[in-house]
Structure 1
Amino acid sequence: MKFSIAFVLSTAAAALTIFSSVQAAAIPTPVEIQKRDIEGLNNYACKLTPAHPRPLLLVHGTALDVSAWSTWAPLLIKEGYCVFGQTYGKYKNIPLLAAIAPIEDSAQEVANFANDVLTRMNATQLDYIGHSQGGILGRYWIKYLDGAGKINRMIGVSPIQHGTTLDGVTTLASALHILKSGQPLLDSVAPALYQMIVGSPFMQKLNAGGDTSPGVIQSNIATRYDEVVTPWKTCYQDAPGVTNTLLQDLCPIALNEHLAIIYSKIALRWALNQLDPSTAKTANCLSVF
């Protein structure tokens, strides 16, 4: 088969345009990262519909706050979801960071907020999207608080389901017998950090008896370039019926890492497909447009 020079050049130009658009959408700009209010979030006048019969709770990750959802939340609201979210997990005298308090306390905060949403929206269940640490607070709510039966779908976005080695740092520190000696310092500043290490007492408790809960439809998306939750496959849950997806299987040229994945419209399209499979559209590199 012969190709004209014009055809080759136009094809290359199209590929370059797609690549540039994907990468532009993959990494948040300073304007995107800055904290700002999200219009339509926590709107208790929002009407649940047959198409979207449950409130949707967004739970941010460690050291972030609710403004981390400034890309996803407006688009989910535009799709007709009643979207809710809060900033949780502030600790002692560190006002600039959230989600660093003991995870049990953060889970209780999320539980209290979620229960209030259910009551005020006159709903018995909600759907749940959690990023990083946010991906496990709902699990703790279900297993150890009063959350059993209250979550219909739980979607993890780079969730820290089984803890992290921080690219092997914690493994090395443990081998050098300095990991435990550093715990008091971590606990005095941000107790959640030590709790998220692979093999910590908290992670053992969270996953005791299995890492899924009966009746909850669970999905996870990970990125190969995750530098926070490592190895990245620890984002997955190993149980029948769980959907585990790698972002780069949807779009090989997506470079989103742990933070940037919540700014990815490809990951968002995948999440929308999990929320409502009946209206699913292909999630791929073209989802950025």
Structure 2
Amino acid sequence: MAGWRLSRGWAAVCAGLALALGVGHGTATAAGDPVPPAPKGILSFPLAAAGGLLHPDAPPAGADDWSCKPTREHPRPVVLLHGTWANAYDDWGLMSPYLKQLGYCVFAAEYGGAPGSPVKATAHVPDSARQIAAYVDRVLKATGAHQVDLVGHSQGGGLTPRWYLRFAGGTDPAHPESNKVHGLIGLAPSNHGTTASGLGTLTTKLGLNPTVSRLAGQAYSDQMLGSEVNTTLDRDGDTQPGVDYTVIATRFDEVVTPYTHQFLTAGPGATVKNITIQDICRADASEHLSIAYDSNAAQLVRNALDPAHAEPVSCGLTSPVLGG
């Protein structure tokens, strides 16, 4: 789950500063080609959260250019999927312009919530998966691409796209070459249910999940450990043939807990790479919220999208909640 939204007071103070978030100078690869770094900004997540309150239906910078055509270097469009209680604008203020700068056609879906509401991805997971299916079909038609790559945060990187892949037309197990999705990259994904740092365990044991879901949305119950959605989704394994999966988790995750529940096991015809970000960058202090605004995680996403041209991660400092 994408977590808690910051107060509306941030909007008036910070929205005008969002444009000040810049992109650094490119670094050179061994071959001499410039590789743009991930955008940085210690307040990038709070500023984007404020913007998401003001612009709940707007795409983040770099996304939703429906005239974009994939290149030979980047033949697959990237579809970004936000997390629970979030929207595309506030979840992808770092990743979307970064991937656009790298040369990808970038699209940011809105799902699981009413237009005009800054709080989305609250609907029943199968319903949200069908919305994602329709969005991916629209991207494929507009771009002429054969497949897309999905990059998601929390629910958007976990059980909802996995439900789409398995039950809503994202893959064809008998003919994996016909899959609509090539890869799924999840940032702190809610793959196997969460205890929510004990809160979910408490509401589950007390039978309060239906009551909480009436207030917070059905996606709350769906993502709890042992939910019917999780049980159904995990029954026949974690993966679909022909799909490359990457999980990028943080040990400091306070929402999808324990964080090891995010990891996947590869089934026939699929590949899985499970990454704990502190194994790559020891000083990385990102948690569930700020991992979407973590420049180290952004570089790992870059490498997962284009493993043939992967570069070592240039580790930077990332703070809880604030990003970096």
Is the contact made by 2:86 and 2:118 (CA closer than 8 Å) also made in structure 1?
A: no
- Per-residue deviation, 1:91: 5.6
Task: Give 1:62's aligned amino acid.
Answer: T
Aligned to 1:257: 287
Is the contact made by 1:196 and 1:203 (CA closer than 8 Å) also made in structure 2?
A: yes
Q: Does 1:129 align with 2:151?
A: yes
The C-alpha deviation readout for 1:140-163, integer Å capped at 9, x for no partner, is 112111111111011011000101
What SS does structure 1 have at the residue aligned with 2:196?
Answer: coil
More deviation, 240-249/99-108: 240-249
What SS does structure 2 have at the residue aligned with 1:85?
Answer: strand
The C-alpha deviation readout for 1:18-62, integer Å capped at 9, x for no partner, is xxxxxx856645323322553331112112111100111000000
Task: Give 1:188's aligned amino acid.
Answer: R
What SS does structure 2 have at the residue aligned with 1:203?
Answer: helix
Within 1, Cα distance between the matches of 2:47 and 2:61? Answer: 16
Aligned to 2:130: 108
Within 2, Cα distance between the matches of 1:172 and 1:83? Answer: 39
Pick aligned residue for 1:30 from 46, 60, 63: 46
Alignment of 1:203-282 (within 5 A): 203-239=230-266, 241-282=271-312
Q: Does 1:99 align with 2:121?
A: yes
- Per-residue deviation, 1:120: 1.3
Pick aligned residue for 2:163 from 102, 118, 140: 140
Aligned to 2:218: 191
Task: Give 1:230's aligned amino acid.
Answer: T
More deviation, 33-42/276-285: 33-42
What SS does structure 2 have at the residue aligned with 1:133?
Answer: helix
Q: 1:32 to 1:90 in 2, by over 3 A?
A: closer
Q: 1:171 to 1:286 in 2, by over 3 A?
A: closer
Q: Does 1:85 align with 2:115?
A: no
Task: Give 1:186's aligned amino acid.
Answer: V
The C-alpha deviation readout for 1:251-285, integer Å capped at 9, x for no partner, is 11111010100000100001100110122111141
Pick aligned residue for 1:150 from 173, 176, 180: 180
Within 2, Cα distance between the matches of 1:119 and 1:266? Answer: 32
Q: 1:284 to 1:246 in 2, by over 3 A?
A: farther
Q: 1:235 to 1:138 in 2, by over 3 A?
A: same
State the aligned residue count: 262
- Per-residue deviation, 1:131: 0.6
- Per-residue deviation, 1:103: 1.1
The alignment's TM-score, normalised by the length of structure 2, stands at 0.76
Q: Does 1:69 align with 2:92?
A: yes
- Per-residue deviation, 1:173: 4.3
Task: Give 1:69's aligned amino acid.
Answer: W
What SS does structure 1 have at the residue aligned with 2:211?
Answer: helix
Q: 1:58 to 1:52 in 2, by over 3 A?
A: same
Q: 1:91 to 1:286 in 2, by over 3 A?
A: closer
Q: 1:96 to 1:287 in 2, by over 3 A?
A: closer
RMSD: 2.3
Within 1, Cα distance between the matches of 2:76 and 2:147? Answer: 6
Task: Give 1:95's aligned amino acid.
Answer: S
The alignment's TM-score, normalised by the length of structure 1, stands at 0.84
Task: Give 2:249's aligned amino acid.
Answer: A
Over the matched positions of the two proteins, sequence identity in percent amounts to: 35
What SS does structure 2 have at the residue aligned with 1:242?
Answer: strand
Within 1, Cα distance between the matches of 2:42 and 2:166? Answer: 34
Task: Give 2:180's aligned amino acid.
Answer: K
Is the contact made by 1:226 and 1:257 (CA closer than 8 Å) also made in structure 2?
A: yes
What SS does structure 2 have at the residue aligned with 1:40?
Answer: coil
Q: 1:169 to 1:286 in 2, by over 3 A?
A: closer
